[in-house]
Amino acid sequence: MELGEEHRAFRDSVERYIAAEMPKAWARDLERDEDNYPFELWDKFTRAGFHGIGIDEKYGGMGGDIVMQVLLARALGRPLAGLAWLWGITSFAGGKSIGVYGTEEQKQRFLPKIAAGELRAAIALTEPGGGTDVLGAMRTNATRVDGGWRITGEKIWSSNSHVADYLLLLARTNKDVQKNHQGLTLFWVPAKSEGITITPLKKLGMRSMGSCSIHLNDVFVPDDLVLGKPDDAWYMLLPTLNNERLLMSAFCLGYIDGVIEDALDYAKQRKAYGRPIGQFQAIQHYIADMKIAQYAVECMLMDCAWKSTMGKPSIVESTALKVYSAEQSNKCADMGIQILGGMGYSAETDMQRYWRDSRLQRIGPITDEMARNVIAEQMGLPRSF
């Protein structure tokens, strides 16, 4: 589907800014410094107004529909790879979640700060030993007390939480339920609250962004920081998961863009046996397969984005998109390493970074295997988990 004039102008504008301000070599240096969060990248997002995309203008945002959000996510993914999630996590955890679940008072209080780049958020859903089984593994409990709640438990793989101002945290508030998805509440927890200990974890990719474990020991959260209705959080979360899968897939498409760009450049310049390696049929097939993947993911992504904008999101289609984009971006990066050979394995090029960061997308925020289970169940087959 062709983009309209407004969407084309937005795409061209952000691509120019990103090309000028966020080159791949700079992103490679940022990612290499595992112990330092790249505040300077966050500040570039702020100056460009990216934090306000998707937030209503009356709350200080720039507006923009899901199509604009995926156009931005794709453009960021091309040079930044996984570092693009610096924008994506707060956009989802803060802007999207408060924009959907929040009260008017909560929107007035937090959305202007998010849009201005003055507030960072992190997602705290996953439990140790739980992975995709968020519901079955839920051990974090919140108990009602005078004026609010006391939360005790542990979360893991919470990216950005060590520098976050708030945590979008899911906890069990009612144990007397028939099904695991009942009795859960969503909290907007100040990350520096007394009783919270956040510990960064070493990992393969997206290194400088930081992913952490969170220990909560009797942490008080006031009633005005509960998002939505207590005990009913899972039903609230489900619609926004569609948005998360579209953003993730747009990042993956950006990875593919970056991979193709580097693979083509190398294939044209590198010579072997007296000629450019791009003249070899095997190399041409790799690059052709990348193009096929790029086109297919782009078509699926824009179809899902337009349907979501029109109020007709499809959980089957967005989940299928998540699986395909994750697998194809990782496959393309792997082929890219093969084309570059030893240089593809070198930390001095970006191909290994695309491979490491795209590999995570096959695991989270939902594994590709579990995503396939969801699709099959939605098609009428019996539940397998």
pLDDT score for 137: 87
Residues 243 and 274 in one domain: yes
Other CB atoms within 10 A of residue 1 CB: 9
Q: What is the CATH number of the domain that holds 349?
A: 1.20.140.10
The distance of Cα 360 from the centroid of its chain, to the nearest Å, equals 11
Q: 384 lies in a domain? A: no
With vertex at residue 95, the alpha carbon angle to CA 366 and CA 317, rounded to the nearest 5 degrees, is 40
The structural domain count of the chain equals: 3
Residues 249 and 144 in one domain: no
- Alpha-carbon span 107 to 334, nearest angstrom: 43
Above 70 in pLDDT, residue 349?
A: yes
Residues 350 and 290 in one domain: yes
Last residue of a domain, one of 231, 247, 269: 231
Q: Which residue, among 237, 255, 307, 309, has the nearest Cα to 69 in the 3D structure?
A: 309
Above 80 in pLDDT, residue 220?
A: yes
Q: What is the CATH number of the domain that holds 12?
A: 1.10.540.10
Above 80 in pLDDT, residue 239?
A: no
Over range 242-246, report the average pLDDT. Answer: 91
Above 90 in pLDDT, residue 261?
A: yes
- Alpha-carbon span 94 to 205, nearest angstrom: 24
Q: 364 lies in a domain? A: yes
Pairing between strand 121-124 and 166-172? parallel
Residues 101 and 155 in one domain: no
Residues 213 and 240 in one domain: no
Least reliable range by pLDDT among 64-78, 230-244, 274-288, 350-364? 230-244
pLDDT mean across residues, the chain = 95
Residues 261 and 344 in one domain: yes
Last residue of a domain, one of 231, 260, 287: 231
Tally the C-alpha atoms within 13 A of residue 63's C-alpha that lie toward its C-beta. Answer: 5
Q: 385 lies in a domain? A: no
Residue 81 region by backbone torsions, left for phi larger than 0, else alpha for psi between -120 and 50, else beta? left
Is-contact 351 259, C-beta < 8 A?
A: yes
Last residue of a domain, one of 94, 120, 146: 120
Q: 178 lies in a domain? A: yes
Q: 370 lies in a domain? A: yes
Q: 220 lies in a domain? A: yes
Give the structural domain span for 326. 234-378
Q: Which residue, among 302, 305, 301, has the nearest Cα to 329 in the 3D structure?
A: 301
Above 80 in pLDDT, residue 247?
A: yes
pLDDT score for 385: 84
pLDDT above 90 as % of the chain: 87
pLDDT score for 130: 84
- Partner residues linked to 232 by β-bridges: 184
Convert the pLDDT of each residue in 293-338 to its tens digit.
999 999 999 999 999 999 888 899 999 999 999 999 999 999 999 9
Over range 180-193, report the average pLDDT. Answer: 96
Residues 95 and 130 in one domain: no
Residues 30 and 99 in one domain: yes
pLDDT score for 1: 66
**Structure tokens belonging to residue 338:** 């093969």
Q: What is the CATH number of the domain that holds 216?
A: 2.40.110.10
What is the length of the chain? 385
- Alpha-carbon span 30 to 24, nearest angstrom: 10
Residues 357 and 258 in one domain: yes
pTM: 0.96
What one-character DSSP code corresponds to residue 57?
G
Residues 307 and 216 in one domain: no
Residues 6+ apart with CB under 8 A from 336: 259, 262, 263, 286, 290, 344, 351, 354, 355
- Alpha-carbon span 190 to 121, nearest angstrom: 9
Residues 354 and 253 in one domain: yes
Least reliable range by pLDDT among 45-59, 123-137, 287-301, 357-371? 123-137
Residues 257 and 373 in one domain: yes
Is-contact 39 30, C-beta < 8 A?
A: no
Going from the C-alpha of 213 to that of each of 57, 154, 200, 329, the distances in angstroms are: 35, 7, 6, 27
Confidence of residue 135 (pLDDT cuts 50, 70, 90): confident
Above 90 in pLDDT, residue 86?
A: yes
What one-character DSSP code corresponds to residue 362?
T
Cis amide leading into 190 (omega within 30):
no
pLDDT score for 35: 86
